[in-house]
Amino acid sequence: MKSDKVSLSDIAKAAGVSTALVSYVMSGKEKEGRVGQEMANRIREIAKELNYQPNLLAKSLRNGRTNTIGLIIADISNPFFANIAREVEDESRRNGYTIIIGSSDEDADKAWDLMNVLINRQVDGFIIVSSENSGRLVEHLQNIRLPFVLLDRHFPEYNTDFVVTNNAKASHEAGSHLIQNGYRRIGFIAYKSAMFHVKERIRGYQEALQEHGIEPKATWLKEVQFNAIESEIRTAIDELVQTEEPIDAIIFSTYGLAVNGLKYLNELRLRVPEDLGVVSFGQAEVFDLYYCPISYMRQPIDVLGKKAVSMLITRLSGESGEAQHFTVDAQLIARESSRPKV
Amino acid sequence: MKSDKVSLSDIAKAAGVSTALVSYVMSGKEKEGRVGQEMANRIREIAKELNYQPNLLAKSLRNGRTNTIGLIIADISNPFFANIAREVEDESRRNGYTIIIGSSDEDADKAWDLMNVLINRQVDGFIIVSSENSGRLVEHLQNIRLPFVLLDRHFPEYNTDFVVTNNAKASHEAGSHLIQNGYRRIGFIAYKSAMFHVKERIRGYQEALQEHGIEPKATWLKEVQFNAIESEIRTAIDELVQTEEPIDAIIFSTYGLAVNGLKYLNELRLRVPEDLGVVSFGQAEVFDLYYCPISYMRQPIDVLGKKAVSMLITRLSGESGEAQHFTVDAQLIARESSRPKV
DNA sequence: TACCATTGCTTAAACGTTTAAGCAATGTGA
DNA sequence: TCACATTGCTTAAACGTTTAAGCAATGGTA
């Protein structure tokens, strides 16, 4: 068993022809290389015999594309993102691309460094689930004209391709659902962030209340720091609950918030949904572990992932038109945690 | 702002010297290249000015190493593995390596294909969380002398580097712990698998019972198919519980089994730990969502990941001695789900 | 018959590095 | 003073591809 060492010139030698000819055949360009039928077959034969595997490095060096996509994820330990990553990876592979993942851990500097490492690795383009303050990153990529698609989170102030969920609408739906089921004083817990998707979720929630004639109190909205989630979510929930007019339902804007929040509700011995109705964003399967299945806004991970890949790939193949936007709706999965109040 | 286009020869031109000289300086070989101090500084200066970024492809093509590691994970949607992946990625990056991940989804064929894609990408080595029937893969890598480290799961019949948890011991501890807390009829649910780590976990469990004078009944051991987990786990639990001598505790050998199993226990309205004590393997955070915090065998993900990387990297730097083995102990995190029986 | 197009192939440069080998100038020791 | 070592640089080949350009033989058309 020969190892990886078989090159074009080995085949060429074996066939008694030039490497050019072999290259034309191996890259399916026998037409434009004007290679004879017979010879083409012979070369293919020999290549198979020698188990030829093209050297991708050489290919890339020569033609300037690596067929590699850089995927920068805000937080890979979040299963929602992990599953997005997986979807992106699968879909890319299906299209002949390899992806290199990096997690920025919601840190702009780390994202920046990651981007540079990946640029150095000559990725052809990026798919980015951006973190706070990633404007610089977006600008830089635009400057050097490296194609990229923003996934799940985008910046309205930049004109970029993106694939996102309609967050305002999702939040709106979550809120309306709770109201329809009899909840009135609905809290909302989000990460403290200036990012658009966060603001949108808050907006949707507030609008839903207003449309149903409920004035969303400022104290119902809690913003907790990503880095101090464990402590701050306790304070947040305490403040929502320990007041003369405690909330009767809560919307978690994120998987991580929900996990930590629900945990704390357990500690407080607050019952869902009797004491507190719950709807969450984020990833599903795990919410089933709660004694009471958690209602959530299901984001179509597969659609998001696949669309981002296909959008990027059309860019990579030279498309240079208008920025592409793709917005998909989340779907309310209503379960026990938000069942009608009795 | 110039883009990526600056090459050695641009610097060489600017400095009026040969590319060789620049190369020596840029790769820190001014000593062996016998480059003059003054010239070296001038070159560095110019390089910085032009914002030179070496072309990694060219480098790799020339010297045959890509500084890339292929990471093949059995199931990336499992948070335990996702976190391992993350650890591996971080540690690799810290050492100047980039990793390319692929999930084999516990499928030997997919793992094989992945391996080939990654070999084509000229990874310098592999870290592999292997799936069933990956013997062929191991053999092939040994044949072509591509370094690799098996992580979390290994094959005793092959002489390879590996980094694993002491599964028998962990299982033994889980069993003993339950027994000490008064449980007597302890079930064990594992994936149906011929893999060593699965067998080891079963062995540890059985030995623990025996050492405490309990004969582990064959009916207490349930093996469910990875692909049919949702249905088979129900049958398994039904059979464990609906008998004249139902079990009073259960060990889940895996994160996925635990999630699905606990879910079903909820449906059955079985109370943990009153009706059924529980200890699980797998990832932690999420078990907190259960109304009753789940005891688990904590595997030191960071240690596993870091050790695998360092083991591989020493191989990559030419070490060719004996196969390295590293075994780490899991730690019992005892919580409510296995509290002493009253 | 002369001309041109087509077919089947080869040559060679290029992508951006690394590095062995070589060359000239200077320094050193006997 | 000669021989040789050291210093500071250049040349050029190599890694494995791709592809424009060129060349010779054949076929078709006028």
* Model confidence band, residue A1 (pLDDT cutoffs 50, 70, 90): very low
Say how far apart CA B304 and CA B166 lie, in whole Å.
11
Give the dihedral of Cα atoms B250, B254, B255, B256; nearest 10 deg: -100
Q: Cα dist. B339→A294, B214, B239, B330, B334 in Å?
A: 27, 20, 24, 19, 8
* Nearest nucleotide relative to B61: CA against C1': D15
Please report which helix (H) or strand (E) contains residue A37, including its range.
helix A37-50
Q: What percent of chain A shows pLDDT beyond 90? A: 88
Chain B CB contacts of A75 below 8 Å:
none
Q: Cα dist. A272→A140, A150, A336, B66, B316 in Å?
A: 47, 36, 8, 53, 54
Query: Which pLDDT does position B89 carry in this prediction?
Result: 94
Say how far apart CA A210 and CA A172 lie, in whole Å.
10
CB within 8 Å: A290 and B290: yes
Identify whether B273 is preceded by a cis peptide bond (ω within 30 of 0). Answer: yes
B115-125: pLDDT as tens digits: 999 999 999 99
Tell me the residue type at A327.
T
Question: If you count them, how many residues does chain B have?
Answer: 342
* Nearest nucleotide relative to A61: CA against C1': C15
B289 contacts chain A (CB < 8 A): yes
CB within 8 Å: A61 and B54: no
B195-233: pLDDT as tens digits: 999 999 999 999 999 999 999 999 999 999 999 999 999
Query: Which pLDDT does position A76 carry in this prediction?
Result: 83
Query: Which pLDDT does position A32 carry in this prediction?
Result: 87
Q: Protein A20 CA to nucleic acid C4 C1', in Å? A: 26
Distance from the Cα of A210 to chain B's closest Cα (Å) equals 32
B231-276: pLDDT as tens digits: 999 999 999 999 999 999 999 999 999 999 999 998 899 999 999 9
pLDDT at residue A2 is higher than 80: no
Look up residue B98 and give its two tokens: 């980039």
CB within 8 Å: B77 and A83: yes
Query: Which pLDDT does position B2 carry in this prediction?
Result: 42
Say how far apart CA A110 and CA A102 lie, in whole Å.
9
Domains with residue ranges and CATH for chain B? 8-54 (1.10.260), 67-166+301-330 (3.40.50.2300), 167-299+332-338 (3.40.50.2300)
B14-53: pLDDT as tens digits: 999 999 999 999 999 988 889 999 999 999 999 999 999 9
Which residue of A57, A286, A291 is in closest CB contact with B286?
Answer: A286
B7-20: pLDDT as tens digits: 999 999 999 999 99
B101-153: pLDDT as tens digits: 999 988 999 999 999 999 999 999 999 999 999 999 999 999 999 999 999 99
Q: Cα dist. B313→A198, B93, B151, B270 in Å?
A: 41, 12, 14, 49
Q: Cα dist. B27→A196, B17, B64, B97, B304 in Å?
A: 43, 16, 16, 17, 32
Asked whether residue A16's C-beta has any atom of DNA/RNA strand C within 7 A, the reply is yes
Where does residue B122 fall: left (phi above 0), alpha (psi -120 to 50 degrees), or beta otherwise? left
Say how far apart CA A137 and CA B94 lie, in whole Å.
21
Say how far apart CA A77 and CA B86 lie, in whole Å.
8
Residues with CB under 7 A from strand D: A 5, 7-9, 19-20, 23-24, 26-27, 29, 33, 52-55, 58-59, 61-63; B 16-21, 33-39, 58, 61-62
Query: Which pLDDT does position B308 carry in this prediction?
Result: 98
CB within 8 Å: B259 and A289: yes
Nucleotides of C under 7 A from a protein CB: 7-12, 14-21
DSSP code per residue over A73-99: ES-TTSHHHHHHHHHHHHHHHHTT-EE
* Model confidence band, residue A53 (pLDDT cutoffs 50, 70, 90): very high
Asked whether residue B63's C-beta has any atom of DNA/RNA strand C within 7 A, the reply is yes
A87-143: pLDDT as tens digits: 999 999 999 999 999 999 889 999 999 999 999 999 999 999 999 999 999 999 999
Closest CA in chain A for residue B144: A3
Question: If you count them, how many residues does chain A have?
Answer: 342
Name the nearest CA neighbour of A132 among A190, A191, A81: A191
pLDDT at residue B4 is higher than 80: no
Cβ-proximal residues to B234 (8 Å cutoff; 6+ apart), any chain: B264
DSSP code per residue over A134-180: -HHHHHHHHHTT--EEEES---TTS---EEEE-HHHHHHHHHHHHHH
* Nearest nucleotide relative to A30: CA against C1': C8
DSSP, collapsed to helix, strand or coil, labels residue A333 as: strand
**Beta bridge mates, A278:** A250
HSE-up (13 A, CA, CB side) for residue A33 = 18
* Model confidence band, residue A75 (pLDDT cutoffs 50, 70, 90): confident
Which residue of A54, A82, A144 is in closest CB contact with B82?
Answer: A82
Asked whether residue B20's C-beta has any atom of DNA/RNA strand C within 7 A, the reply is yes
Q: Cα dist. A311→A62, A219, A314, A316, B62 in Å?
A: 25, 41, 5, 9, 34
DSSP, collapsed to helix, strand or coil, labels residue A214 as: coil
Asked whether residue B60's C-beta has any atom of DNA/RNA strand C within 7 A, the reply is no
Residues B109, B121 contacting (CB under 8 angstroms): no
Look up residue A30 and give its two tokens: 């026998």
Q: Protein B1 CA to nucleic acid D11 C1', in Å? A: 33
Cβ-proximal residues to A202 (8 Å cutoff; 6+ apart), any chain: A171, A188, A190, A221, A253
Pairs across A and B, CB distance < 8 A? 111
Residue with tokens 């955070």: B285
CB within 8 Å: B290 and A286: no
Query: Which pLDDT does position A61 carry in this prediction?
Result: 96
DSSP, collapsed to helix, strand or coil, labels residue B246 as: coil
- How many of the other CB atoms lie within 10 Å of CB of B189? 24
pLDDT at residue A71 is higher than 70: yes
Query: Which pLDDT does position B5 carry in this prediction?
Result: 84
CA B127 to the chain's CA centroid: 8
Which residue of B1, B3, B289 is in closest CB contact with A262?
Answer: B289
Please report which helix (H) or strand (E) contains residue A297, including its range.
strand A295-298
pLDDT at residue B1 is higher than 80: no
b/e for A120-152, b at 16 or more Cβ within 10 A? ebbbbbbbbbbbbbbeebbebbeeeebbbbbbb
Q: Protein B15 CA to nucleic acid D1 C1', in Å? A: 39
Q: How far apart are the first and last CA of chain B?
A: 73
Residues A88, A71 contacting (CB under 8 angstroms): yes
Asked whether residue A36's C-beta has any atom of DNA/RNA strand C within 7 A, the reply is yes
CB within 8 Å: B259 and A77: no
Closest CA in chain B for residue A96: B117
Cβ-proximal residues to A121 (8 Å cutoff; 6+ apart), any chain: A66, A68, A70, A100, B56, B98
The interface residues of chain B toward chain A in range 71-90, judged by CB-CB distance below 8 A, are 76-77, 79, 82-83, 85-86, 89
Between these two residues, A295 and B77, which has the higher pLDDT value?
Answer: A295
Asked whether residue B164's C-beta has any atom of DNA/RNA strand C within 7 A, the reply is no
CA A208 to the chain's CA centroid: 26
* Nearest nucleotide relative to B18: CA against C1': D10
A151-198: pLDDT as tens digits: 999 999 999 999 999 999 999 999 999 999 999 999 999 999 999 999
Look up residue B123 and give its two tokens: 């990874």
